[in-house]
A and B are shown apart, each in its own frame.
Chain A
Amino acid sequence: MLSIKNLRVSIEGKEILGGINLEVKAGEIHAIMGPNGSGKSTLASVLAGNNLVEVIEGEVLYMGKDLLKILPEERSRQGIFLGFQYPIEIPGVSMVNFLKTALNEHRKYNGLEPLSASDFLKVMREKKALVEIASSLTNRSVNEGFSGGEKKRNEIFQMAMLEPKLAILDETDSGLDIDALKVVANGVNKLKTKENATIVITHYQRLLNYIIPDYVHVLYDGKIVKTGGKELAIELEEKGYEWISKELAINSSPAIL
């Protein structure tokens, strides 16, 4: 589904990702972990099409297409969803109008008629129940005045509405209380099918108790330095990233040995 080859990117002239390789197949869940500033959100941004991120070299294929050539809105319509680490507040744009416009753009792309107002509200009600989000939130402007946790829950709600093929969740678990964490994990699991895939970016092994990953990758200083199964997350939690950096130092400095 997604194939990243030797992807190097920079932000404002500074190289952030230095040669990422990643293969994600339909039905898989990948977790990406890594210390602050290692480039996790940058990777998510370049996949979503944020033009702040400049591609230096490399290739990203999504469903066989050159993803980097596609506009952000087109990527979304083709099934890519980014759950933002810091969701944006948009005063004056109602959640209903925002989601209705988004959903109907997706439908148009798929050759479907736009949903009527009542059908839309029906879909919205269903998905709201699924992710247990309160109407008091969905009746407001997009994320305006939402608490940190409410914003994260709203990201999962939007994901449920748009039913993506590839969801990239950037620290959607941060700032969530334990009940909300279960709801979010539950949402991801309920929406999971054989046809879609999920990349979860997280700092906490805790989330991975609820969303069981097929692979765990460690992103360190702009590179994926280690890949393993779900037990890698446990090991990281125990030993911290210092363990990784030591291991790297050993591997990359054979001359000292």
Chain B
Amino acid sequence: MNMGEVVPKTDIVKKLVDSYYRNADILNKSNSVFINEKREEGIKYFKKLGIPGRKNENYKYTNLEPVFSHPFRNAISPSNKYFDRDQIFKCDIPTLDTNVILLLNGFYFDRKTPLRELSSGALVGSFAKASTEYPELVEKYYGKYAQITNEGLVALNSAFVQDGIFIYVPKGIVLQKPLQIVNLIASDDDIMVQHRNLFVLEENTGATVIVCDHTFSPHKFLTNSVTEIYAGPDSRFNFTKVQNEHNDAMQISHTYLNQGENSKVTSNLITLHGGLVRNNFFVRLNGNGCENNTTGLFLVDKRQHIDNYAYIDHAKPYCTSNQLFKGVLDDFATGAFNGKILVRRNAQKTQAYQANNNILLTNDARMNTKPQLEIYADDVKCSHGATVGQLDEDALFYMRARGIGEREARLMLMYAFANEIINQIKVEPLRERINHLVDMRLRGELSRCQNCAMNCG
């Protein structure tokens, strides 16, 4: 990232707090009273907690000061930039029958029908609209797991929250079609976006959600988003997030997933491109017999930086969690992985596994990986392992000895490495699509998603 001057952290915080009070009227306009009350709390905690610095153990490898020093305009109102809907809708995945939802600069795009009720009774649409139309429903979940009291950036997001995606699946309902959220940032100036998503799956439900992050114009962008997911008892939830932003885009995402008894959730985090990416993934297994699979894959090059933080909280017994994060780093790219597993005292019969494997393609690429296990129960099975290495030279020679060119052989090995993650994606057309995108990305041919009208350069 090529950033300008670094502003002292206290000044950054002051600037954001001033902006909050200056814009209070706008901020309080379109959400429910409850959200606005939380907003007040949010700014108080942000004042106290500030932006996590390098001294914060969880942010040791990602320096956010230069990121927040840039004079971004806070995108607190919907953009009036015109987009041809049909053009954007081309971005969905061919052969994948999805409901496509568009978020533009953090605001729900379709203003004519901001909240749709599907025939099943499920709700899909604007978070802001949901907070005023269904205040009790939103209040019941909003901010219940995402904590403003200890994460400065979650507090900041809660202070500035305006819109995002709201999904509600009532008891016993399974959404047949995957929901695809295209999260697009496009602006004529450098902006900061802080959307908030809330997905609620009641008991015995099922849904698949795909989030695609794109940037559309060649400006500097900063995203500080929070997504809360409540997967009720016996629910099945598949979540895939594909990050494909340009080199001047910086993204800090927080995903809070709370799982109820016997629920099964699979999350895949695929980072194809981005200038600076920090993903925080908090999972709380909050009922007996939960299953959680969290996987991540990133492919970075040039001076890109990626930092994945995963925190699995085994709060109840008989739960299983699997984390597998992989990364390929080229050129001068830097990366970090911090995976924490907490097994609480009563969480007996826990099975928790974590693996992090990385490939460095050059001597200049750097990767820091840190597992953290905190286990307070005695009857548990836990394992963790991390590797940072190069491509297998013996395998390369073997392939070349069969006539496969060196470049192709390298690509095949990288692709094989990535494939373990891609294979975790449950929706087949999506898996094929990601396969293709990863292949193109590795070949250096991905400047934008094929078929997509957006130029995500």
Contact = CB atoms under 8 A, between A and B. Distances in A.
A106 interface: yes
Interface residues of A, number: 32
Interface string B353-397: 000000000000000000000000000000000000000101101
A78 to B, nearest CB: 9
Which of A90, A109, A142, A162 has most chain B Cβ within 10 Å? A90
A106 B417 contact: no
A88 B412 CA distance: 15
Contact of B416 (A73, A93, A99): A93
Contact of B404 (A49, A82, A84, A102): A102
A77 B400 CA distance: 10
Contact of B412 (A51, A97, A106): A97
A73 B406 contact: yes
> Most chain-B CB neighbours within 10 Å: which of A72, A89, A141?
A72
Contacts of B403: 73, 76-77, 102-103, 105-106, 109, 162
A152 to B, nearest CB: 14
A71 interface: yes
Contacts of A103: 403
Given A90-B413, A92-B416, A97-B412, A49 B400 contact: yes
Given A92-B419, A93-B412, A48 B401 contact: yes
B398 interface: yes
Contacts of B397: 50-51, 72, 88
Interface string B184-222: 000000000000000000000000000000000000000
Given A90-B395, A97-B412, A76 B400 contact: yes
Contacts of A189: none
B405 A73 contact: yes
A82 B401 contact: yes
A101 B404 contact: yes
B18 interface: no
A98 B401 CA distance: 12
B402 interface: yes
B432 interface: no
A11 to B, nearest CB: 14
B110 interface: no
Interface in A145-160: 158
Nearest to A97: B412
Contacts of A51: 397
Contacts of A49: 400-401
A180 B72 CA distance: 70
A88 B409 CA distance: 14
Contact of A88 (B398, B416, B419): B398
A76 B398 contact: no
A91 interface: yes
Interface string B402-444: 1111101100110111011000000000000000000000000
Nearest to B405: A73
Interface in A17-66: 48-51
B400 A73 contact: yes
Contacts of A162: 402-403
A99 B404 CA distance: 9
A16 B413 CA distance: 31
Contacts of A105: 403-405, 408
Nearest to B417: A92
B1 interface: no
Nearest to A74: B403
A114 interface: no
Contacts of A99: 402
A110 to B, nearest CB: 11
Contacts of A141: 416
Contacts of A48: 401
Contact of B399 (A92, A98, A109): A98
14 contacts: A73-B405, A73-B406, A73-B409, A75-B401, A77-B403, A82-B401, A84-B398, A88-B394, A88-B397, A89-B395, A92-B417, A101-B404, A102-B404, A105-B403
Name the 8 nearest CB pairs between A and B, nearest first: A92-B416, A76-B403, A88-B398, A102-B402, A72-B400, A105-B403, A73-B400, A93-B416
